[in-house]
A and B are shown apart, each in its own frame.
Chain A
Amino acid sequence: MQVEAYAGEEMVLNMGPQHPSTHGVLRLELETDGEIVKKVTPHIGYLHRCFEKHAENIDYPGVIPFCDRMDYIASMNNSLGYALTIEKLMQIEVNERVQTLRVLMAELNRIASHLLSIGTYAMDIGSFTPFLHCFREREKILDLFEWVCGARLLYNYNWVGGVSHDIPSGFVEKTSEFLNQLEPVIAEMDKLLSYNKIFLARTAAVGIINKDLAESFNVTGPNLRGSGIQWDLRKEEPYCAYETYDFEVPIGSGQFGPVGSCWDRYYVRVREMEQSIKLIRQALDRLPEGDVHEMVPRRVKPPKGEIYGRTETPRGELGYYVISNGGLIPFRVKVKSPCFTVLSVLPAIARGAMVADIIAIIGSIDIVMGEVDR
């Protein structure tokens, strides 16, 4: 890149890999004219841990802990996607208790992930209090997870054919209590943050992702729904019996600015937490009896073939393309990460924004570098 070619008023800034607001190790090369950003080039790869190469050298169940570590904030959803893909390849049907437990854990993790996303987003914008509210509630969810499977963040919970641990007695009551106590906290935080004048001024007209851009760049999840597009894989291609649950899919409506702004994406996440609470209550009510290890195969040896399985994680559509050659070790596991695709939109939406708006945009697209880099 020729620095001499610049007219003398433009700067090249490195929003470097170490930065408190880039949500991980992301390097953004900003070419700015004063405060206005002319061009953003994201550089990734600082957290590349060779997931796909490891998956070619370890057996199928052994890949699950590696899956957890990609999006370390929503691990239940990552391993769920992988387990469902391998089960589809092997044509294993799990029993209803496993399905309900999977929905329960995935939705609890969705709430935890959105709490973190909203809390850190508010902190990036400059308001510190919602961060404390969010993390206090998130700690309670992590305590629940620790009670079930022993781990706070990386669970190895969803196995091929089942789940690793059944829930202990008392879990249903404790979770119900937690949900009853969480609802007023979400309402309080909504009142505190969502309609705050400064928050609106910083986010409501910034980072617009319009429909064509979203489709062309395969933006999924709350980022897509924030642009007003009604698309949720839990409704369109249901898995784990999601079609039997009653829930809505919130979308952005451009309440305070053009549709597809940072505020819309943030607000979709707030409303999604409420829908997740509804889903968890239904799952807790219906929890049927069963053995969670019933369909876990002694050896995971899928037949020769390939499959592409996708699920709706808190960050979007996570896809696993698995090719099996009939052995105990996968031939190829390719992961389509939702954060990878949404980060590629950043150069298009950040042109013309100010440097402070870049922070708002990155926070609103909710990336986790572990998943971008794998």
Chain B
Amino acid sequence: MKDTSEILQILQEKFPKYIVKSNLESAAPFLVVSAKALPAVCGFLKNDKDMNFESLMCLSGVDYKDPKTEDDRLEVVYHLFSMSKKHKLILKVELSRDDPKVPTVENIWGIANWHEREAYDMYGIQFEGHSDLRRILCPDDWVDYPLRKDYVEPETYRGMPAAASKQFAELAEEGEDLGTNPYRAG
């Protein structure tokens, strides 16, 4: 069973430039991998006898756009686990907001196929080499990527109102005469 600092040492020996940075002090230590290096690193982590990360627990997209800090990037976070060796690893890939591209790992872990489709659907991250990159949760003709921090809901979708309509309390405050008909339009 290895902890993240041991794995980092092994990876730095094997792939000298691929690990861009690491954070070993936090309660959830992680390694940041460059996007192009991801398939090589993940293939090693899965197939090597001592690492044996046969299970991809979770693949998430995250949007770090915080007005308080200067963060402005998208990330893909991979939670790896080895049932045989009982060790965990967190890998992150940092992507720019305008052109988020990262190679797919669906050939390494089959479940990445659906997880990557969800990250594409919600964040617009392009997974290069994916066999079937299309939306999974939103309808196929949905526009824009809902979980991004700067997402604005569309006004209508296929003619149906999509944005949240004003509550009656807001309309009353604005001075509208609501009357007694609960089915008023608009």
Q: State the Cβ distance, A284 to closest chain B Cβ, in Å.
A: 32
Query: Are the C-beta atoms of B77 and A48 separated by less than 8 Å?
Result: no
Query: Are the C-beta atoms of B136 and A216 separated by less than 8 Å?
Result: no
Query: Are the C-beta atoms of A45 and B122 separated by less than 8 Å?
Result: no
Q: State the Cβ distance, A331 to closest chain B Cβ, in Å.
A: 8
Q: Interface stretch among A289-297, A300-308, A355-363?
A: A300-308
**Chain A stretch 271-326: residues in CB contact (< 8 A) with chain B:** 305-308, 310, 317, 319, 321, 323, 325
A317 / chain B contacts, CB cutoff of 8 Å = 57
Q: State the Cβ distance, A78 to closest chain B Cβ, in Å.
A: 16
Query: Are the C-beta atoms of A45 and B139 separated by less than 8 Å?
Result: yes
B6 within 8 A of A: no
The listed residue (B57, B66, B110) touching A319 by CB distance below 8 A is: B57
Q: A45-B137, A305-B28, A321-B79 are in contact. Are A310 and B111 (CB under 8 A)?
A: no
Q: Produce 1/0 per residue, B30-71, CB < 8 A to A.
A: 000000000000000000000000111110101100101000
Nearest A residue (CB) for B138: A45
Query: Are the C-beta atoms of B58 and A319 separated by less than 8 Å?
Result: yes
Q: A45-B138, A334-B58 are in contact. Are A305 and B111 (CB under 8 A)?
A: no
Q: Produce 1/0 per residue, B78-107, CB < 8 A to A.
A: 010001001000100000000000000000
A213 within 8 A of B: yes
Q: A48-B137, A216-B54, A341-B111 are in contact. Are A306 and B146 (CB under 8 A)?
A: no
Q: A45-B137, A52-B122, A306-B28 are in contact. Are A344 and B62 (CB under 8 A)?
A: no
Complex: A340 Cα to B136 Cα, angstroms: 11
Query: Are the C-beta atoms of A44 and B28 separated by less than 8 Å?
Result: no
Complex: A308 Cα to B58 Cα, angstroms: 9
B110 / chain A contacts, CB cutoff of 8 Å = 213, 216-217, 344-345, 348
Query: Are the C-beta atoms of A336 and B26 separated by less than 8 Å?
Result: no
**What is the interface size of chain B, counting residues whose CB is below 8 A from a CB of the partner?**
31
A53 within 8 A of B: yes
Query: Are the C-beta atoms of A341 and B114 separated by less than 8 Å?
Result: yes
Number of A-B contacts (CB under 8 A): 78
B86 / chain A contacts, CB cutoff of 8 Å = 236
The listed residue (A52, A216, A310, A321) touching B147 by CB distance below 8 A is: A52
Complex: A236 Cα to B146 Cα, angstroms: 36
Q: State the Cβ distance, B33 to closest chain A Cβ, in Å.
A: 17
Nearest A residue (CB) for B107: A216
Given contacts A52-B147, A215-B55, A321-B58, 12 further A-B contacts (CB under 8 A): A56-B147, A89-B27, A215-B54, A305-B26, A306-B28, A307-B27, A308-B79, A310-B57, A325-B68, A332-B63, A348-B110, A374-B137
- Measured CB to CB, the residues of A under 8 A from B are 44-45, 48, 50, 52-53, 56, 89, 213, 215-218, 231, 236, 305-308, 310, 317, 319, 321, 323, 325, 331-332, 334, 336, 340-341, 344-345, 348, 373-374
> What are 21 of the A-B contact pairs (CB < 8 Å)?
A44-B137, A45-B136, A45-B138, A53-B147, A56-B147, A217-B110, A218-B55, A305-B27, A307-B28, A308-B90, A310-B57, A319-B57, A319-B79, A321-B58, A321-B77, A331-B66, A332-B60, A332-B63, A334-B60, A344-B110, A373-B137
